[in-house]
Amino acid sequence: MTSDELRSLFIDFFVGRGHARIDGASLIPENDSTVLFTTAGMHPLVPYLMGGRHPAGRRLVDLQKCIRTGDIDSVGDPSHLTFFEMLGNWSLGDYFKREAITWSYEFLTGREWLGFDPALLSVTVFAGEGQVPPDEEAALLWEEMGIPRGRIHFLGREDNWWGPAGVTGPCGPDTEMFIDTRKEPCGPSCRPGCGCGKYFEVWNDVFMQYNKTREGSYEPLAQRNVDTGMGVERTVAMMNGCESIYGIPLFRPVFEFLEKASGLDPDSDPEARRSMRIIADHARSSTHILGDDMGVPPSNLDQGYVLRRLLRLAVRHARKLGIEGPILPDLARLVIEGESHVHPELARNRAFILSEVEKEESQFEKTLQAGMREFEKLLPNLLRNPSRTIPGRVAFRLYDTYGFPVEFTTELARENGLEVDAEGYAQALDKHRELSRAGLDRKFGGGLADHSDMVTKLHTATHLLHRALREVLGDHVEQKGSNITHERLRFDFSHPRAMTPEELSEVARRVNAAIEADLEVTFSEETVEKAGEMGAIGLFKSRYGEMVKVYRIGGYSMEICGGPHVERTGGMGRFVIQSEKSSSQGIRRIRAVLE
């Protein structure tokens, strides 16, 4: 089975059960400061999970691009990816556990669908904790499907609880489905989720039946929802009997390229196999981050930092394989050619992708040269050290300051009869990760997961700002991203130069005039085509599905949007632009507040 075949089967199955197909959202969350990337299908749907009416209805099915930065260090093993595709079916206050579990079982085991042997299927359910009881209802439903109690495992919060997208919001227990790979168990406590590889997770049904409050309590949701996720790569791997997710047809062209370029056989060389897996994943992740319609270039902040790290790790492992010279553009082309039929934005943004990876690889080569020079400066003193050991803090400084990989330091040390204090390096790295992990993986604040008064006002203000920018600078201005917290808004837009003080003053004046006019904010549900004919601004119309919400702010602004809005602009406060600066080439960034 190919990835294309699995996507079609899944979507056809749920469309046949009354679900409307919608398009997935951008990898870069819009108006959401809680995460750097879209890590699950629920993020763009939070307003509807909280009770808002989705234009496409109450039963939805989609394919969502996801990135999870927390898995970067695990890539290279048989089961982890940073970028992956997630198939999902959704119930927004419609069906609940019985239908979700029944359909999950039918799709996994039905002969006309995936046809897994039911005897190989094991599941986990929530064991209960604190205010939330064990999910006996889910366990009983699995028993009805024919899964014996011995293959139904009750696990705790870490395994079977899906938290809110932000600090607060919809959450609940989940049930996860695993295929037994028939490997030998790792011991008497071997079970689904233990990580030994015997059990391979393919699907996850989340039952959103609670709302987590700011006080930390769990209240029953007025609207109970179902959010499921089937990993495309994982499931295709199981369908094909692959030893790892990297054995699926999707990755074959990249591995063939790497084997030819390196002359190494990953089947007989475990280190080469791990490096090839890392290159394959990181090249794919980077291509999708750059190719997204809200794509970001490499940088030292936020998403750009993660992208830079992925690209440089790919280059580093290519050098470990003995591959010299530029490699990233060739890898990006393979990803574009292999996946643009599913993700057409890759083809649309091809020139940007190739230009950025070429620049980053060239810059990293200069970084490596700078690190070499610094190492050579340090070498005389290092050679005088009686222990013949490079301190861990020195190796880490080469990495942190110069971007010089520790593997390169270790290799150079060995050539000079030295060794690196690996434990000291690990301690320095762990300390660095502790300080930066919150910034990389979860950035709490507000966004679409938060409908507080201030976030709602600031979100509405982005509409007024967008309109004012187009009036003052021209219709070439397009939104390229936004980020909202309780304190401020950040708005990225296309413009080739810095704005003048006069232009900034005029934009602020127009936004405040619209606020003072106490304009009514209304919306209507329209087809995408009708919204376009009406003149609604919407850079990412496809993400909303066939029907969209068009918000009007008086006669001043009209945009496609799914976020929270005030009812009238009066009382929003005084709009003040705090800064305007470059975000990346051709993209400017405004930070503003409401006083």
Q: State both tokens at 548.
A: 């969209």
Q: How far apart are the first and last CA of the chain?
A: 57
Who's near 215: CB < 8 A, 6+ residues apart? none
CA 475, CA 54: separation in Å to the nearest integer? 30
How many degrees, rounded to 5, is the angle at CA 509 between CA 585 and CA 490?
40
The CA–CA distances, whole Å, from 464 to 180, 496, 565 equal 54, 21, 12
CA 567, CA 135: separation in Å to the nearest integer? 40
Exposure of 123 in the CB half-sphere (CA atoms within 13 A) = 28
Helix (H) or strand (E) holding 98: helix 97-109
Name the CA dihedral angle for 341, 345, 346, 352, rounded to a multiple of 10 degrees: 160
| Helices and strands (DSSP H and E) totals, the chain | 18, 18
In 3D, which of 74, 103, 94 has the Cα closest to residue 14? Answer: 103
CA 579, CA 490: separation in Å to the nearest integer? 10
CA 193, CA 155: separation in Å to the nearest integer? 9
Beta pairing class for 161-162 and 169-180? antiparallel
Cβ 292 vs Cβ 345: under 8 Å: yes
What's the pLDDT at 487? Answer: 80
CA 195, CA 158: separation in Å to the nearest integer? 13
CA 503, CA 126: separation in Å to the nearest integer? 56
Alpha helices in 161-269 (DSSP H): 232-239, 252-262
Q: What is the DSSP letter of 184?
A: P
Collapse the DSSP code of 128 into the 3-class scheme (helix H, G, I; strand E, B; otherwise coil) and give the result: coil
What's the pLDDT at 286? Answer: 97
The string of DSSP letters for 449-464 reads G---HHHHHHHHHHHH
Collapse the DSSP code of 320 into the 3-class scheme (helix H, G, I; strand E, B; otherwise coil) and give the result: helix
The string of DSSP letters for 258-303 reads HHHHH---TTT-HHHHHHHHHHHHHHHHHHHHHHSTT-----SSHH
If 0-12 CB within 10 Å is exposed, 13-18 middle and 19+ buried, where does residue 504 land? middle
* DSSP 3-state percent helix, strand, coil across the chain (nearest 5): 45, 20, 35
CA 224, CA 213: separation in Å to the nearest integer? 16
Beta pairing class for 575-584 and 587-594? antiparallel
Exposure of 430 in the CB half-sphere (CA atoms within 13 A) = 7
Cβ 473 vs Cβ 510: under 8 Å: no
Cβ 287 vs Cβ 336: under 8 Å: yes
In 3D, which of 406, 254, 425 has the Cα closest to residue 337? Answer: 254
Collapse the DSSP code of 30 into the 3-class scheme (helix H, G, I; strand E, B; otherwise coil) and give the result: coil
Sequence letter at residue 50: M
3-state helix/strand/coil string of 211-224: EECCCCCEEEEEEE
Q: State both tokens at 8.
A: 């079609």
User: Residues for the chain: how many in total?
Assistant: 595
Name the CA dihedral angle for 56, 61, 66, 68, rounded to a multiple of 10 degrees: 110
Domains belonging to the chain, first-starting first, are 3-246 (3.30.930.10), 385-440 (no CATH), 451-594 (3.30.980.10)
Sheet with 575-584, strands from edge to edge, namely 479-484, 489-494, 587-594, 575-584
Sign of CA dihedral 231, 236, 239, 240: negative
The string of DSSP letters for 333-364 reads HHHHHHHTTT-THHHHTHHHHHHHHHHHHHHH
Q: How far is CA 341 from the centre of its chain?
A: 20
In 3D, which of 102, 83, 93 has the Cα closest to residue 45? Answer: 93
What's the pLDDT at 449? Answer: 47
Collapse the DSSP code of 227 into the 3-class scheme (helix H, G, I; strand E, B; otherwise coil) and give the result: strand
Question: What averages of pLDDT result for each successive group of 10 residues across the chain (595 residues)?
Answer: 96 97 88 75 80 90 91 85 95 96 97 95 93 93 96 94 76 94 89 87 92 84 91 94 93 97 94 95 97 86 86 89 93 97 95 94 86 89 90 88 79 87 88 57 41 84 96 92 83 92 96 94 86 77 61 92 87 93 85 93
Q: State both tokens at 50.
A: 């909280």
Sequence letter at residue 356: E
CA 540, CA 534: separation in Å to the nearest integer? 16
